[in-house]
Amino acid sequence: MWPFKGGGNFAYACTRVKAKKRFLLSRDTYSRMLVMDVHEIGRFLGETQYREEMTKYASRYSGANLVEVAITRNLARTYSDILSFTTGHLREMVGDYLKRWDTFNVKTVLRGKTTGVGEEDVMDTFVPAGSFSESYLRTLVQLGSIQELMDALSKEPSLGITPELVREVVDTGRLAQLEDHLDKSMYYDLLKIIEETNLPDQLLRQFVRREIDVTNLKVLLKLKAERIPEDKILKYLIPGGLEYGMDKLKALAQAEGLSAIMEELEKSSMYEVIKGAVEKFKADQKLSDITIAIDKALIGTSEKFAHFYPLSVLPIVNYMIRKKVEVDNIRIIARGKESALSNAVMEDLLVV
């Protein structure tokens, strides 16, 4: 159907993923979970596709901690399973997309090391679905000092960590500059790797650029609301977006308040999806509705692409995104129950 470089088992892999998609939790299931307590949520998850992980970690964790560890490890197992049954160029594309979890795992190790979190607790929250194996990540966790850890990470070509970044982390313990570098490098490398040899590949690249747009918009909204200076905001913005290039982002960072961003959102291709949230913000100045609406718009884009090209990498990426959203939603409910948040507040935070 498409002239894929290196081929790949597209029909088989997409069929396998379609079968997995049937097990995603429905909107009604989230509604039922909202009226459960944390222990009831745990028992419920123990009867679903999360059964294996809930059983495995029940002896070490309980309550919301058990739920979070189990769903995170299930996410890792799901992604690894998908990568295992893909071949050829399809496997390359899926693997490239999953390299974002290298960034996530490195951040997890660094945060654990700088805050004194126990080694096992750090390792239980890994999602080893990228190019870094779980055994390699384990060796990083077991390094004795932040200097040793940064020295080891600086030897990884894919991370591109400079001596200046090493000194920043070692001398100050601050991770913001390094994490910003890792995020930018991840997207830069992904855009560089995706070859536009056919239409689905072009659409995957377009989707990644939309993902960059969404990431940048959420950063802008958050930092402008906190009245962070323009020069500091610009450090956190990622080049390569589809609708929002760096010039436009710089103008939005320079603008006073959030009104310029709202006006820009009203001109965007996603406006019909987020219109209700933008109008609601004008009344209550609540940003969470807009950020959730932007995330939903991105998921809608992946759904549309997957529907139009059912035998490509796009349905697989769409499923991986939806699986991550499911894990995030469960985490929100479990942690919300633990913190005694109202059902209405938790429901507003869910992406469904």
pLDDT digits (tens, 9 = 90+) for 134-164: 999 999 999 999 999 999 999 999 999 999 9
Confidence of residue 6 (pLDDT cuts 50, 70, 90): low
Q: Determine the pLDDT at residue 107.
A: 96
pLDDT digits (tens, 9 = 90+) for 267-297: 999 999 999 999 999 888 888 899 999 999 9
Q: Report the pLDDT averaged over residues 347-351.
A: 92
Q: Determine the pLDDT at residue 22.
A: 95
HEC assignment per residue over the chain: CCCCCCCCCHHHHHHHHHHHHCCCCCHHHHHHHHCCCHHHHHHHHCCCCCHHHHHHHCCCCCHHHHHHHHHHHHHHHHHHHHHHCCCHHHHHHHHHHHCHHHHHHHHHHHHHHHHCCCHHHHHHCCCCCCCCCHHHHHHHHCCCCHHHHHHHHHCCCCCCCCHHHHHHHHHHCCCHHHHHHHHHHHHHHHHHHCCCCCHHHHHHHHHHHHHHHHHHHHHHHHHHHCCCCHHHHHHCCCCCCCCCCHHHHHHHHHCCCCHHHHHHHHHCCCHHHHHHHHHHHHHHCCHHHHHHHHHHHHHHHHHHHHHHCCCCCHHHHHHHHHHHHHHHHHHHHHHHHHCCCCHHHHHHHCCC
Q: Determine the pLDDT at residue 195.
A: 77
Residue 49 has pLDDT above 50, yes or no: yes
Residue 5 has pLDDT above 50, yes or no: no
Residue 3 has pLDDT above 50, yes or no: no
Give the range among 4-13, 23-32, 88-97, 277-286 with minimum mean pLDDT.
4-13
Residue 4 has pLDDT above 80, yes or no: no
Q: What are the Cα distances from residue 61, in Å, to 34, 55, 106?
A: 21, 10, 23
Query: Mean pLDDT score of the chain, rounded to an integer?
Result: 93
pTM score:
0.91
In the chain, where are the structural domains located?
A: 10-349
